Amino acid sequence: MQYKPSTLQRRKGKWYVCVTKPKELTFGTDTQARRSTGTSDKRQAQLRQHELTQVIYDEFDTLLERSDKFYESIRPLLEKEGINTKQWYTNGYITVDTSAFKGRGMGFMGIYASGLHGIDRNPDGKYQLQPTIKISTHVDLCKLLTALGHSIPLKHFQGDKDELQSKELSTDALLGIADRTQDHPVFRRNVIEQMKNFAVDAPEVQTGGQTLGDLLDRYKETRPEKSRKNDRWQLRKWHDHPDFGKKPLKDVTVYDAYDFLNEIGEDSSASSIRVLRAAMSNVFKWANKHRDLDIGHNPWIGLDLKGIGSDAVERLPFTHDQLYALFQMDMPEEDRKAFAILITTGMRIGELHKKPPVREQGSIRYMDLREDDPKTKGSRRLVPLHDNADVVPVSFSKGRLREHIRNLIDDPRVVPHSLRHTFKDLARDAGVPKEVSDFITGHRQGDVAAGYGQGPSLRTRYEAIMSIDHPWL
């Protein structure tokens, strides 16, 4: 999803990065997300703007993943009734002040007929509305809106069938509402006409499961002290993965294991892959012993690791013709930006995917990889950006980059990591000294030494990068 660009705003002497929230995350007057730059110097604030903007975008992504599409489709109707719609996400339900029903006989009859549990009997035996009603399901939301006299727009039930199933708007459930309204034909007809033709059979209810992140602390407590550091390093690769990290362990299959190791193997050696497989297997062995976790398998046992790892299969660099063809392909602009940075810097795809902060020194824009926790000290470095590829992608998919290459080149030895090899070849052909090239790509000690021995200056690296010709950009 494309978000609004960020702006800098000064508040109480400090500069803040501000981004307008997408409508799905806007409640009332809360329309902007803000992050303080921690400085009153506008120049310094501008240098931090990109990094903080990315933090805000990542937060938007997380919140939108949790958003309820059906609820969002009817939220305007709820807001017209003065209901605090933010409660759905903060509390898991909304509360409705039944004073809204006063003077609305149809509303009272609808509440009574629909079974929303909003009716009490007073001491005289007469029915009366409760002060508030708590709504926590989609079906009750439909009941509420219909009781208030709203017709739920048909478009909200014309979405993807799987989406409707995920919201459990089943035929049985919807007709069940109508069945409780036999004595109220108008209400019954409204429910049936609005929903029946667009409802689906309810899916079998699937119970959730625990992810690696849910169990990590519990697992680490069982590990020897000397093993915990390596466990942390290995397991974070799965834990931090945008797709696999969210998957319940009981749902992980051998195919997931192969897909994951093949992806990591583009940047890791065959021996590193074996260590990673063992670390993941140990988690499952431990989980198998705990009945409450309901994880009765281990997809990491018996894997054939032949050919997995950056040194297990020869990687071929791109030819010039292939690079021209790659950058002429029709693809999302964010993917094109990613390819441009990879070919002009020789970065690892995993390094770029972590969205390192972009800083500026003089006229040189560079990515700062020193703040991460990489496996080797050489990876902690400053990487200048090429003038023709200095816009960092807000988001991109590593899998999608692989697909672009595979659609162009039917050779498994040419992968995104091949761009790193290609950069080394281009640098050599341009006369860039090997020492400088190694510092740029992270094959030396990196920018972690103190006082001396830090290698080529940022200016030297920038000039080396700019000396390499990239006519395909």
Within 8 A by CB and 6+ apart from 205, the residues are none
Question: Tell me: the pLDDT tens digits for 289-346?
Answer: 998 888 999 999 999 888 788 666 677 899 999 999 999 999 999 999 999 999 999 9
The correct answer on CATH 3.40.50.300 for the domain covering 320-466 is no
pLDDT over 60 at 109, yes or no: no
Residue 45 DSSP SS3? helix
Q: What is the pLDDT of residue 106?
A: 42
Q: What is the pLDDT of residue 405?
A: 92
Label residue 283 by pLDDT band (50, 70, 90).
very high
pLDDT over 80 at 369, yes or no: yes
Q: What is the pLDDT of residue 58?
A: 80
Label residue 251 by pLDDT band (50, 70, 90).
very high
Instruction: List phi, psi (to 5°) of 251.
Output: -100, 0
Instruction: List phi, psi (to 5°) of 407.
Output: -70, -20
pTM of the model: 0.46
Question: Tell me: the pLDDT tens digits for 21-65?
Answer: 887 777 656 678 888 888 888 888 888 888 888 888 888 777 776
Listed ranges 67-81, 99-113, 128-142, 261-275; the one with the highest mean pLDDT = 261-275
Label residue 120 by pLDDT band (50, 70, 90).
low
Of residues 16 and 156, more confidently modeled: 16
Q: What is the pLDDT of residue 162?
A: 43
pLDDT over 50 at 82, yes or no: yes
pLDDT over 70 at 241, yes or no: yes
pLDDT over 60 at 138, yes or no: yes
Please name which of 199, 194, 205 lies closest in space to residue 170, comparing C-alpha atoms: 199
Question: Tell me: the pLDDT tens digits for 181-215?
Answer: 555 555 555 555 555 444 444 344 344 589 999 99
Q: Do 265 and 309 meet the contact criterion of CB atoms below 8 Å apart?
A: yes
Q: What is the pLDDT of residue 199?
A: 47
Which helix (H) or strand (E) segment is 51 a member of?
A: helix 42-65
- Given 1.10.1060, 1.20.120, 1.25.40, 1.10.150, which CATH number is that of 212-293? 1.10.150
Q: Do 164 and 199 meet the contact criterion of CB atoms below 8 Å apart?
A: yes
Which range has the worst mean pLDDT, 62-71, 373-382, 430-439, 448-457? 448-457
Four-point Cα dihedral 226, 228, 230, 236, nearest 10: 180
Cα-only R_g, the chain:
28
Percent of the chain with pLDDT over 90: 26
Q: Return mean pLDDT, the chain.
A: 78
Percent of the chain with pLDDT over 70: 73
Q: What is the pLDDT of residue 215?
A: 92
Strand ranges for 106-234 from DSSP E = 119-121, 127-129, 132-135
Of residues 254 and 162, more confidently modeled: 254
Q: What is the pLDDT of residue 346?
A: 94
Domain ranges of the chain: 7-65, 69-198, 212-293, 320-466
Label residue 154 by pLDDT band (50, 70, 90).
low
Q: Do 345 and 383 meet the contact criterion of CB atoms below 8 Å apart?
A: yes
pLDDT over 70 at 101, yes or no: no
